[in-house]
């Protein structure tokens, strides 16, 4: 079963935005990898993450959900069977994820559990 791992926010300055939310939510940066920064999740809050982008994001993918799964290929097949569309496939180092869209075009990502 997929598990919500983070809410990803596109940012022109991912570091600045991560530092703001880290201070506002009284948490710390948990991981910083190339163009991606994740905040430490708290007991009562979902984990926020920030993705560096080159241009402002209007509408498409400004915010999206990231899911992890023990068997991401099985969950990918299940999502497609339920009506999702596969949009993109990405790899950064050893990290691999797939960008999908639900039946109304809302985008989300799926990767292997950490």
Q: Are 18 and 85 in contact (CB under 8 A)?
A: no
pTM check: above 0.85: no
User: pLDDT at residue 39 above 90?
Assistant: yes
At 103, which CATH number? 3.10.180.10
Total tally of structural domains belonging to the chain = 1
- How confident is the model over 73-95, as pLDDT tens digits? 999 999 999 899 999 999 999 99
DSSP 41: P
User: Would you place residue 10 in the very low, low, confident or very high pLDDT band (cuts 50, 70, 90)?
Assistant: confident
Range(s) of the domain holding residue 40: 3-112
Instruction: Kindly compute the dihedral angle of the four CA atoms of residues 64, 68, 69, 71, in this order, to the nearest 10 degrees.
Output: 90
How far is CA 71 from each of CA 34, 52, 66, 108, 113, rounded to the nearest angstrom? Answer: 25, 27, 15, 17, 8
Write down the pLDDT at residue 65: 85
Task: Give Cα 87 distance to the centre of its chain.
Answer: 15
Rounded mean pLDDT, 9-31: 88
pLDDT of residue 105: 79
């Amino acid at each position: 079963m997929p598990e919500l791992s983070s809410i990803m926010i596109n940012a022109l300055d991912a570091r600045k935005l991560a530092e703001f939310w880290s201070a506002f939510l009284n948490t710390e940066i948990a991981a910083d990898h190339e163009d991606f920064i994740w905040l430490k999740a708290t007991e009562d809050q979902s984990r926020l993450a920030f993705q560096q982008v080159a241009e402002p994001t209007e509408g498409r993918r400004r915010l999206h959900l990231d899911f992890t799964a023990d068997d991401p290929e099985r969950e990918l097949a299940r999502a497609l069977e339920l009506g999702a569309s596969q949009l993109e496939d990405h790899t950064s180092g050893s990290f691999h994820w797939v960008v999908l869209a639900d039946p109304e075009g809302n985008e989300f990502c799926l990767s292997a559990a950490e």
